[in-house]
Amino acid sequence: MNKYEVMYVIDTALEDQLRSDVIARFNAIVENNGGKVERVDEWGKRRLAYPINYKTEGYYVLMYMSAPGDLPRELERNFKINESILRYLVTRLEGEIPAKREPLKPYAPKEQAEEVKEEVKEAEEAPVQAAEEAPAAEAEAEAPQTEIE
């Protein structure tokens, strides 16, 4: 049995129940054809890189499975005839199934975001303070220096 990674994008116009029925249907196709679903990761609604059929968002699902060599063709045939699937890709995995990834998190947590805002504010004020101190430093430099002997 070979290991496969299957990524498919479901139309976001489907309701939650219909979407979970579509996912269950593809899992059942794998099971009924002698394969085994190792893991299903639902990535959720994401923006598409380019519009597909005038749609700009899709619901991403990543499935890992072990299956005989003829199952990907059957799975792709079912993806083609299902109108709620926008795109799909079936690839063969070499090696072990990768560890589950954590969902994407915002760039900085709230506490760090506030700290970053404070740092930016201080950085914006620093040139003003430096500009105020600069004339005093220039005045000292321009003052005639007398040598004490």
With a cut of 50, list the residues of the chain below it in pLDDT: none
Burial degree of 28 (CB within 10 A; 0-12, 13-18, 19+)? exposed
pTM for this structure?
A: 0.66
Within a domain: 129: yes
Residues of the domain holding 38:
2-93
Q: Name the nearest CA neighbour of 35 among 87, 74, 79.
A: 74
What single letter denotes the amino acid at residue 86?
Answer: L
Within a domain: 98: no
Question: What pLDDT, on a 0 to 100 scale, did the predictor assign at position 117?
Answer: 66
Residues 25 and 89 grouped into a single domain: yes
Residues 44 and 72 grouped into a single domain: yes
